[in-house]
Amino acid sequence: MSPNPQQCPPVFHIDVTAEPTGPESGLGDDKQDILIILLRQLVIGQERQSKLLEELSQHVNAAQRQRMAELGQWKASNPGLARKCKVAAETLSRVQNEFLHQLTAEVADNEEGLLDGEFVLNEFVDRFGPRLAHLNGVLQALSQLSYTPDNANSPR
């Protein structure tokens, strides 16, 4: 048995006319003023957030530009060492790929032990974790210091 809609009082009233017809059809002047004040405060807060984000972005970009300029100066001052860093980075990249092949083969071979036993997982992490982390760090440093020739001056 479904409830009769005539027996239930309405939960809310929606007025779709262009102008309010009575006091219950719209907000009072005080409520409208409060709403306007709150909306203005929201806008002011958003404008302040935008300014702060812009300043933060400028600060981060300035630090990044400074770091890139310093790195460029180092590369210009040490072109031979930068080339050696590039060769070392390429070699270590191949070493890293071989290491990752070994790591993934070890995972595939010991899947059940890694899932079931904490000892096997700890041994795996102890065996591969530090080496992988240090290799990644060295490779990243060498990559940043690597020689990048100026394309405008290099022959094609």
The answer to whether residue 61 sits within a structural domain is yes
Where does the pLDDT of residue 134 fall: very low under 50, low under 70, confident under 90, or very high at 90 and above? Answer: very high
Per-residue pLDDT band for 6 (boundaries 50, 70, 90) equals low
Based on the domain organization, do 64 and 91 belong to the same domain? no
Residue 94 covered by a domain: yes
Domain count, the chain: 2
Residue 69 lies in a domain: yes
> Angle 118-145/79-109 helices, nearest 10 degrees?
160
141 and 93, same domain (yes or no): yes
* 139-152 per-position pLDDT tens digit: 999 998 986 765 43
From 12-16, 98-102, 145-149, the region with the lowest mean pLDDT: 12-16
- Claim to verify: residue 59 and residue 99 sit in the same structural domain: no
Question: What pLDDT is recorded for position 59?
Answer: 94
Q: Please report how the helices 118-145 and 29-77 are oriented relative to each other, as an axis angle in degrees rounded to 10.
A: 70
Domain that holds residue 89: 79-148
| Burial degree of 70 (CB within 10 A; 0-12, 13-18, 19+) | exposed
Residues 39 and 86 in one domain: no
Higher pLDDT, 16 or 103: 103
pLDDT confidence tier of residue 8, bands split at 50, 70 and 90: low
Residue type present at position 70: E
Closest C-alpha to 135, from 82, 85, 95, 79: 95
- The answer to whether residues 70 and 83 belong to one domain is no
Is 125 part of a structural domain of the chain? yes
What are 40-92's pLDDT values in tens digits?
999 999 999 999 999 999 999 999 999 999 998 999 899 999 999 999 999 99
- The predicted model scores a pTM of 0.55
Are 85 and 143 in the same domain? yes
The pLDDT of residue 116 is 86
143 lies in the same domain as 120: yes
Residue 18 within any structural domain of the chain: no
Query: Does residue 14 belong to any structural domain of this protein?
Result: no
* 13 lies in some domain: no
Average pLDDT, the chain: 84
Q: Report yes or no on 36 lying in a domain.
A: yes
